[in-house]
Every structure is written in C-alpha cells, then in structure tokens.
Structure 1
Amino acid sequence: MSNEAIQEGGSSGHFAVFSSQNSKFRYTYNKIREVKSCRIGELFAAYRDILWDDGRHKYNVSSFIGEIDEILLGERFSTFDQNTLDNLIGTLRQRGNSNATINRKMAALSKLLRKAHKMGDIHSLPEFRRQKERAGRIRFLERDEEARLFAAIKSRSEDAYRLSVFLVDTGCRLGEALGLIWNDIQDHRVSFWITKSGRSRTIPMTERVKEVIKLPPTTEGRRPKGPFAMLTQAQYRAIWNEAKTEVGLGADEQVVPHILRHTCASRLVQGGIDIRRVQMWLGHQTLAMTMRYAHLATNDLDGCVVVLEKPRADEATRQAETSVFASPLTTPSPSKSTRKPKSEAAAVKAVGKSSK
C-alpha cells in the first residue's frame, strides 16, 4: 500500500477502512481481553454455582478447592502450568492422600480450570493424568451384622431405621434416598431422578421396602415432602455412628452408610444376577464400576471344579474310546515283534504258487 493510503475508519470502531488510488481495503478486528491474574478461590467463587449443583458433592468440592488454594498459598496466576500441577500432586501425596483421593481432588480442579480457560480467565491448561488406583477390598454386611446394626438404629430413630432398610434393599446412595418425593414412588416402583451420574433410573421394590416407605400411623401434622425428608445426612450419620459403636463395629472405618450400597450389590451378584443388570440396578455410569463385584459370582466357576476333579480312570477311558476312531495317519504302525518273519512270508507265497 502506498503512502497515499488514508485511514477512513476510526480506531474506536470494530472495523477500519483503508483506500488508495487503485484499491480499497476493509478489515475487521475483535477486542482483545486482558487476562488478569487470579486465585483458585476466586475462580471457584465465580463458577461454583454454574458447575456444581447444591448438595454434599458441592460441599466436598468446596473443601477440595479450599485445600488446593491453601497449598498454593493463595498465589495469583494467569497460567496454570504443568510444574505447578506436579508440585500440587506431590504435596497432596506427602500429606497422606491416596491416589483415589488425589484423583477426586484433581477432577474438581480440572473441571474448574477448563471452565476458566474457556471463559478466557487463564491462558493455558496443564495435562491432568489419572493416578493409578489400587482395587481395595469391598466390605459388605453379613446378615447378622445387618440385624444387630439395624436394631441399634431402630432403638434410636424409627425414621433412620426405615431409611437403612430402604438403602440396603435398593442399593441407592444416601443422597438419592433423601431427595425422594412421593411422586417418585409409583406402582410398586421407585424412580431416582437426582443421581450422581445425572441419569435417572427406576427399580422395583422389595416387600419390606414397600413397608418402610409408609410413614408410621403416629405421624401427625403435615406430611413431609418425601418418605425420608424429615432426616438430613448429618442426622443420619450421627445415629449410624452411635449404633455401630454400640454393636462393636466402631473401629471398622469401612462401616459407613455407603456400605449398604455395597451390601446390596454383593447380594445381587452372589444370588446369580448378571453384572449388566446389577449395573442398571445400581445406576453405575460404566460397567467397570460394577465389575468390582464380579469376583463374588463364584457360582459361574463351579463347573471348573467338576472338570478338574474328574478321576484319571475316566480320562483313560475317554482316551481309549477316542482311539477307536483315530485317523490312519495317527494310528501307530505295528511293532517289529508282531510282524511276520521274511522266511515265513516267503513260504506262504511259495505254497500259493504251487497250488495254482
């Protein structure tokens, strides 16, 4: 463009026009947003209500992000680089966090940073790699443990007892049960709409579940919103902890309300229900989650023992029967001891000629 070109558009607009004796150019440009440094806590305050629904999960995420912000010493940044992420994971591991716990915390951080990057709050993202988790032993309640624990819960709260029975027979999560409303229970089936995976599911109810969803006849006043709406998670967990201590399970860290979900899954698998249907019953997003219980389906392997325990005599008989139908190519040739001597064969041949 020659020096005679003049600018016809002002710089304050979204476009500018340049012209010369021979040509005219028009171009557009977007406004450039300045990326300011920010803290993890500030990003969480900006996007928490957009990314997470109210509930226990959101409460846990808030705790995770608060710990991460504390580890980073409230540092302000415009780029969250790989070195920062690696140091963060190293610190969490030094604090005694398992790989499973680290993965949960990093999942929350990754979700927050991806939103911030999309909105232009930070320049770039690090690579989040899932830490390898060990497959731990799954604890579930035996029938006698359930009976003792539920009796102790019932002595403290009839509503908590009803909820316990509902949890172990449906296998639902505690939050799913507490979030039920009466309209979710229709035709001897219960539908869970507020789920961790975001996918609703409907399952049939056992006879005792049909009984425990009914409110006791002594209930007075206005009916609650749902069968367990009179309880909160904190109240139920407090009753649970007192009851498990009373029955001698206080030292077992795995005896938490979620063990009722494990117990339901274990009983389904041990009863011969296939893994796919167990997945649908529990509402697992992936089959890999349900496969944790697959080792309990021992009935599927019983046939292997029958084969291994067959007597050797039966095997020898089978081999003898098979040899009758063996191919000539695989049939062994007669041994030298069974063959006729050459002299004898020649004599037989000579007799045959003389008879002619």
Structure 2
Amino acid sequence: MTNEAIQEGVPSDHFAIFSSQTAKIQYSYNKIREVKSFRVGELFSAYRDILWDDGRHKYNVSSFIGEIDELLLGERFSAFDQSTLDNLIGTLRQRGNSNATINRKMAALSKLLRKAQKMGDIHSLPEFRRQKERAGRIRFLERDEEARLFATIKNRSEDAYRLSVFLVDSGCRLGEALGLIWNDIQEHRVSFWITKSGRSRTIPMTERVKEVIKLPATEGRRPKGPFTKLSQAQFRAIWNDAKAEVGLGADDQVVPHILRHTCASRLVQGGIDIRRVQMWLGHQTLSMTMRYAHLATNDLDGCVVVLETPRPAQSDIGAESPLPSSAAQQGAKTEPVAAMTSSRATRNGAKA
C-alpha cells in the first residue's frame, strides 16, 4: 500500500475487510510523534523563565528543583508516575524536611510538570496531595525588642533603619518594599504592584512611615525608589549583625519576615477583624490570615463575664424555701388530694 493511497483514503486489498460502499478509512502519519524523555532539570531550564518571575522566589524554586533532580539521580522520564512521587516525598522526609517544606517543593514540581504536560513533553502526571501542616508558634517582636533592634540597626545604616520601620508598620514583604518606586506612593497611601500573590493592593501609611519614606537630603541623583539603594543581601547582613548585638542571635525566628508577623499580630490584637487584616497583608486566601486569629483575645472577654456571673449561695437557696425538703415533698403530695376533694364537692352540689 503506497503513501498516496493512505493519504487519499483508498483502502488496499489488505484493508478491504474494513471498507464498505458507504465508508472510507483514512490513515495518516501526521500525528505520530517520537516519544522523548527528559530530566527534571531540563524541563526547568526550558520553562523557568515562563513560569516564574525573577526574584527570590525564583531563586528558591531553582534550589528546590535542583535538589529534586539530584534525588532522582538525573533519571529521564516521559511519564512521572505515582510511585516516583511517593518515593521522592519519603526521601525528603528522611532528610528532615517538614511537611510545610515538602509542600513548597512539591508545589514547584507540580507547576513545572503541568506545564510540561501541556506542551506535550510528558504524558502522565501523578496526584499531588498536600501534606498536613502543623500550626507552629508565630514569633513576633515585643515593643521593647523592636526598640532595641531598630536602634542598633540605625547605628549601622540609616537606610536599613528606614526600611525596618516601613516593614513593621506596613506588614509588606521585603521584596515588595525593595521594589517600590516613587510613583507607587501617592499622598497618604502606598501601592504594592509586585506581590507574591500577583494581586496588587493599596494601604494607608502610618505617621512614622510617612517620615521614613522620605529620603534624607543628600547630594547626587535621587534613586528610583525609597529603598532601592539596598539589596536583600545587604539588608539581611545588617539585620543579622544587629540581632546578634542585642542578644537575639540564637533565635532563628528573628528574621526580617518577623516584621510582617509583628504587624499582623498587632492588627489582630488591636481588634481589627480578620478580613481586613487579610486585605492589609495581601493574603490570597483567608486561611493564611487565620494563623493570627487566636491573638484576638478581646473577642473572648465576654465569655469570662458569663462564667463569673454571681451564683446564689447555699444559705440563700435554703432561705427561699420556708419548708424543709421533706415537708415540701409532703405538701406536694397533699395538694392534689385537696384539689380532688374540692372537685368532688362541687360535682355533688351540682347534682343536688
């Protein structure tokens, strides 16, 4: 059978059994593709710039995918099966990864594989199930800790101090603050356009944020934004030196992100409802904000009032009953009898 016959849909004697007067069978090689296999690292190189914007998150994802490729021993695949995923998760857990860390790594892998499947590079995906995360303790700065830490930072860098104040009063992420330009600041409000969730938001500024947002009078060209003179690495280095100096060096939770936790905690403790806190922080889902809900202790104060309502003393209860319990029981028994006697007398009078 020739290629021309296949393309024209003319069946040969070999396929005569499949033909009839009212139907024709058309054969084509156009949709036959060579099955290829890829490493996870190769897929990431192909799609990383499409799936992730430049920044710290992309850097973290690159580290995640690199570790996964290492654990898979550079294996090439055309289908990513469930057993491979389960073994990968098990290995990460043996390495001491928490469920929260595993979820972040699997989210990056899932996003990459789904893109590869859409592009036809792989033809089968496993089911990615989110691991159950435990709600850990949220660390935030007390007022005196903030004062000591910020004073030490100010002695080292005025720009780092201004950024610290802005972070704790706005609750924004470090990358969001560093990405601000002057056009994002209008009157008494600041807008964040480059966010982790991809959703922009605008919040009002506190009085001290309005002060630190201003650049000190210096010679030279004004930078692009209020904090663009600093990089993340520079700020973190200053932060780590300052926290060690004030005696917080051993606390691994005292990182720049603690300023975001501190802002959220103060909002909730101050009586701001959880939905407004979500809008302020720019959380994509309310479940993220609910981590701080337990700090709204004022909402439970009314429960104490109910529980502490004065109860009558035992002596007061006895004074209210003129009869002892035995007499009261006897009275309860005689009252129905007296009522029955009165009722019979009435009926007898009626007959008379």
Distance 1:55 1:281 in 2: 22
Distance 1:146 1:8 in 2: 79
* Structure 2 residue aligned with 1:3: none
Q: Which amino acid aligns with 1:75?
A: E
* Structure 2 residue aligned with 1:274: 273
Measured after TM superposition, the shift of residue 17 of structure 1 is: 3.3
> After superposition, where does 1:9-158 map in structure 2 within 5 Å?
9=4, 15-18=7-10, 25=24, 27=26, 29=28, 30-158=30-158
Q: Which amino acid aligns with 1:16?
A: E
Per-residue CA shift, 1:145-171, capped at 9, x if unaligned?
000000011011000000000000000
Q: Which ranges in structure 1 are unaligned for 5 or more consecutive residues? A: 1-5, 322-331
> After superposition, where does 1:1-356 map in structure 2 within 5 Å?
9=4, 15-18=7-10, 25=24, 27=26, 29=28, 30-217=30-217, 219-313=218-312, 335-338=332-335
Check whether the contact 1:10–1:16 (CA below 8 A) recurs between aligned residues. yes
Measured after TM superposition, the shift of residue 341 of structure 1 is: 6.4
More deviation in 116-125 or 60-69? 116-125
Measured after TM superposition, the shift of residue 339 of structure 1 is: 6.3
Q: Which ranges in structure 2 are unaligned for 5 or more consecutive residues? A: 12-18, 321-328
Measured after TM superposition, the shift of residue 120 of structure 1 is: 1.0
Distance 1:107 1:315 in 2: 63
Distance 1:341 1:172 in 2: 81
SS in structure 2 of the partner of residue 108 of structure 1: helix
* Structure 1 residue aligned with 2:14: none
Aligned residues: 330
Measured after TM superposition, the shift of residue 38 of structure 1 is: 1.2
Measured after TM superposition, the shift of residue 27 of structure 1 is: 3.8
* Structure 2 residue aligned with 1:328: none
Check whether the contact 1:279–1:287 (CA below 8 A) recurs between aligned residues. yes
Measured after TM superposition, the shift of residue 37 of structure 1 is: 1.3
Check whether the contact 1:110–1:128 (CA below 8 A) recurs between aligned residues. yes
TM-score (norm 1): 0.85
Measured after TM superposition, the shift of residue 309 of structure 1 is: 0.3
Distance 1:333 1:288 in 2: 62
Structure 1 residues 302 and 214, CA gap change in structure 2 (3 angstroms): same
Distance 1:151 1:190 in 2: 25
Distance 1:337 1:24 in 2: 102
Per-residue CA shift, 1:316-355, capped at 9, x if unaligned?
99xxx9xxxxxxxxxx99613456769x969x969x97xx
Distance 1:34 1:100 in 2: 38
The structure whose residues are more often helix, as a share, is 2
Structure 1 residues 341 and 124, CA gap change in structure 2 (3 angstroms): closer
Distance 2:268 2:20 in 1: 84
Q: Which amino acid aligns with 1:267?
A: R
Check whether the contact 1:167–1:260 (CA below 8 A) recurs between aligned residues. yes
SS in structure 1 of the partner of residue 92 of structure 2: helix
SS in structure 2 of the partner of residue 263 of structure 1: helix
More deviation in 30-39 or 183-192? 30-39
Structure 1 residues 316 and 209, CA gap change in structure 2 (3 angstroms): farther
Measured after TM superposition, the shift of residue 244 of structure 1 is: 0.3
Structure 1 residues 101 and 21, CA gap change in structure 2 (3 angstroms): closer
Q: Which amino acid aligns with 1:232?
A: S
Distance 1:36 1:99 in 2: 33
Per-residue CA shift, 1:286-316, capped at 9, x if unaligned?
0111111010101111010000001112999
Distance 1:28 1:205 in 2: 68
Structure 1 residues 290 and 25, CA gap change in structure 2 (3 angstroms): same
SS in structure 1 of the partner of residue 220 of structure 2: coil
Identity %: 80
Distance 2:157 2:335 in 1: 91
More deviation in 206-215 or 333-342? 333-342
Distance 1:69 1:25 in 2: 49
